[in-house]
Amino acid sequence: MDVMDAPTLKKLLASDESGVAVLDVRTPAEFETVHIPGSYNLPLDLVSEHAHDVTRKLGKQIVLVCQSGTRASQAQQKLIDIEIEAGSVLEGGIAAYEKSGGEVVRGTQRWAMDRQVRMTAGSLVLLGFLGSKLISPKLGYLSAAIGAGLAYSATSNSCAMASLLSKMPWNQVSTAGKANPLAQIPNAGQLLNPNGK
């Protein structure tokens, strides 16, 4: 796996001739909350479908970014699976980039998806446990089901709960002008300097 640390990306992005494009594979809501200036958003579930078009349009070294590095690694593997040069994964994700002093753009504040998953799973397990003691022993099956789901999520490297949470109203962003995920990604010639310098 090809990785890049946050200080290296920060230095490359500060250079006008870096030849680096940042592709953020988090959900649109997470991207809207905080992202690296000049980065492009292509959610993980759309990577395989649009990978050829995106990599052709970007036409430069791609750095894949997510919250912590996990989804970016999954995106990298998806690119490898369809025989596309995968690019680098930002080690530690946007959290590490921000911690290193990298510039970020902030929008509507939401919890990161992994935090939402932990809160939801933890609350359901606690609810199942308390319900099994106070209401009916059968409610203990809720805790067992969540535990089984988390175990499956770890072994399959996917997360049904995250997919469901991404559809919740608080995780929605305005879709004006965003019907086509490629619309925000200009042609390679236009991308030589996304900041207009």
What's the CA gap between 146 and 144, in Å, rounded? 6
Q: What is the pLDDT of residue 96?
A: 92
What is the percentage of the chain residues whose pLDDT exceeds 90?
17
pLDDT 10s digits, 78-136: 888 877 776 889 999 998 999 999 999 888 777 777 788 888 989 999 999 999 988 99
- CA-CA distances (angstroms) from residue 76 to 31, 44, 66, 70, 150? 18, 10, 11, 10, 23
Judgement on whether residues 87 and 184 belong to the same structural domain of the protein: yes
Decide: 35 and 94 in contact? Cβ < 8 Å.
yes
H or E element in which residue 49 lies: helix 44-58
Judgement on whether residues 12 and 57 belong to the same structural domain of the protein: yes
- Per DSSP, 35 falls in state E
Decide: 51 and 84 in contact? Cβ < 8 Å.
yes
Residue type, 40: Y
Q: Is residue 43 over pLDDT 70?
A: yes
Q: Is residue 183 over pLDDT 60?
A: no
**Confidence grade of residue 19 (pLDDT, cut at 50, 70, 90):** confident
**Confidence grade of residue 189 (pLDDT, cut at 50, 70, 90):** very low
pLDDT 10s digits, 125-172: 999 999 998 899 998 899 999 988 888 887 776 777 877 887 788 777
- DSSP-assigned beta bridge partners for residue 40: 23
- Classify residue 8: in a domain, yes or no: yes
Judgement on whether residues 61 and 134 belong to the same structural domain of the protein: no
Q: Is residue 193 over pLDDT 50?
A: no
Cβ-defined contacts of 147-156 (< 8 Å, 24+) = 149/121, 150/121
Q: What is the residue range of 132's domain? A: 113-169
Decide: 24 and 35 in contact? Cβ < 8 Å.
yes
Judgement on whether residues 102 and 118 belong to the same structural domain of the protein: no
Place of tokens 């640390």: 5
User: Which two structure tokens, joined as six digits, stand for 127?
Assistant: 């609810």
